[in-house]
Amino acid sequence: MNELLKKNLYEIRELLDKKEISSPELLQICLERIEKVEPKLNALITITEDIAGAQANEAQKRIERNETTPLLGIPITLKDIFVTKDIRTTCGSKILENYIPQYDGTVVEKVIAAGGVMVGKNNMDEFAMGSSNENSYFGPVRNPWDLERVPGGSSGGSAASVAGLECYVSLGTDTGGSVRQPASFCGVVGLKPTYGRISRYGIIAFASSLDQVGIITRCVRDCAMVLEVIAGYDPKDSTSSPIPVPPYSRLLDEGIKGWKIGLPVEFLSEGLEEDVLKGIERAKEVLKEAGAEIVDVSLPHLPYAVSVYYIIAPSEASSNLARYDGVRYGLRVNSSDLIEMYMKTRAQGFGPEVKRRIMLGTYALSAGYYDAYYLKAQKVRTLIKKDFEKAFEKVDIIMGPVSPTTAFKIGEKTSDPLQMYLSDIFTIPVNLAGLGGISVPVGFDRKGLPVGIQFICKPYREDELLRCAYHFEKTNALKIEWPSLEDVSPSQK
């Protein structure tokens, strides 16, 4: 395996700027890797080789003129939820299997303007609904560390493509943990910024008050570099914030000595795997070594978070997915009767998990149940947000597990939706409160599977979040030997 594949984005940036390697050469190395491992991982729905080739050539011209941006000439993948002009955008669903958008979303525009080389669109849970990447119309994604296990979801293809060394960075979305949980399962870094930090324009909507663009890389510095490129106000997204974007990567080296890191007592609940608990203990030691103090805090309404999420998110999904009617775009199952055409199109176009959530959401919003379910859930959401505000009066950052378990086997939880939903118990509260969170590898369990630790910040304090994660990563000094995948088949572990 080419050693360049194992390098971090910031290291490749230096090699490109010194002209020790060219962008087209780097792209070719990634494409060869994709050809070898993609049949095993299934991390990409669409490979955009020709477009990437043109972008790499253009990036190289800019490099020759001594231009530089964090993404200039860097191979990148995008979750197939990002609208891309003239490139199929499926959202992992049969209903959008052949949908070709007419425009680029804001984040895609920023990536292209920065000279990113887009090598493909990542596989994902259909309409971002899932915690395992088993709900895709295009088949499940496999975890690079163990091909019999899930990579997490819904941005499982993004995490698998970064851990599988197919690219140096991938962009996903995080509605209830969909960037952080896959990052934890795949041993990479996953950042979900504050709601409003990155424009959502041009992202196919799941739950509009929860969705946020996230970044998956192999180290914290890379995350900071990419966030500088894609963050910022967008007039096309009324929920995006005008707060200026700091130079995140230049603020990383400032220490965290004297910081107070809160550990909610509710995060140490029953159901945590022993190796995940050991990861938390290890993280506490590392943070103390970095100069921080660990403080107990409480988030008393945390036990209600999953229930609240599974009323609010499906309700918003039921509204957002009403547009897939077989009339304007996407799949159409022809029928002589309009209502019958709607029904047949949706019956054949949506998968079981999407149908389940549409029905849950439609029920929660229906007359007679709106006040009992949706309105009450929004009130409890406010209480959860206030819990975080109160905790942040005492501490600078909050820490905790990302998921109660490490990566589970494909098919292990598909028959029990509730068990699957509980996979996001520690990530969902962050979305409900609109805060920023990041997953960083802390170690491995006894099966050799990655374990992640989560850090949570105050609104729009990604500078502090990335600083904490960076010093944790630096002090922890975890050596990761990325799986080669060259000597195993999908039927082997």
Between CA 73 and CA 66 the distance in angstroms is 12
Inter-residue contact 224 to 249 (CB < 8 Å): yes
Rounded (5°) CA angle 223-292-181: 40
- Strands 169-173 and 75-79, sheet pairing: parallel
Cα–Cα nearest to 71, from 108, 126, 36, 103: 108
User: What is the torsional sign of CA 181, 9, 444, 136?
Assistant: positive
Between CA 196 and CA 434 the distance in angstroms is 8
Cα–Cα nearest to 458, from 468, 473, 446, 445: 468
Catalytic residue among 22, 23, 40, 79: 79
Catalytic residue among 154, 184, 199, 403: 154
SS3 per-residue string spanning 289-334: HCCCEEEEECCCCHHHHHHHHHHHHHHHHHHHHHHCCCCCCCCCCC
- 79 a catalytic residue: yes
Cβ within 8 Å of residue 441, ≥6 positions away: 184, 187, 188, 189, 450, 451, 452, 453, 473, 478, 480
Pick left, alpha or beta for residue 243 (phi over 0 → left; psi -120 to 50 → alpha; otherwise beta).
Answer: beta
DSSP annotation of 38 = H
Q: Is 2 helix (H, G, I), strand (E, B) or coil?
A: coil
Between CA 33 and CA 259 the distance in angstroms is 42
Termini Cα distance of the chain: 19
Phi and psi, residue 436, nearest 5°? -95, 145
Helix (H), strand (E) at residue 441: strand 436-444
Between CA 355 and CA 353 the distance in angstroms is 5
Burial class (CB in 10 A: 0-12, 13-18, 19+), 371: exposed
DSSP annotation of 472 = H
Catalytic residue among 22, 136, 170, 178: 178
- Residues identified as active-site: 79, 154, 178
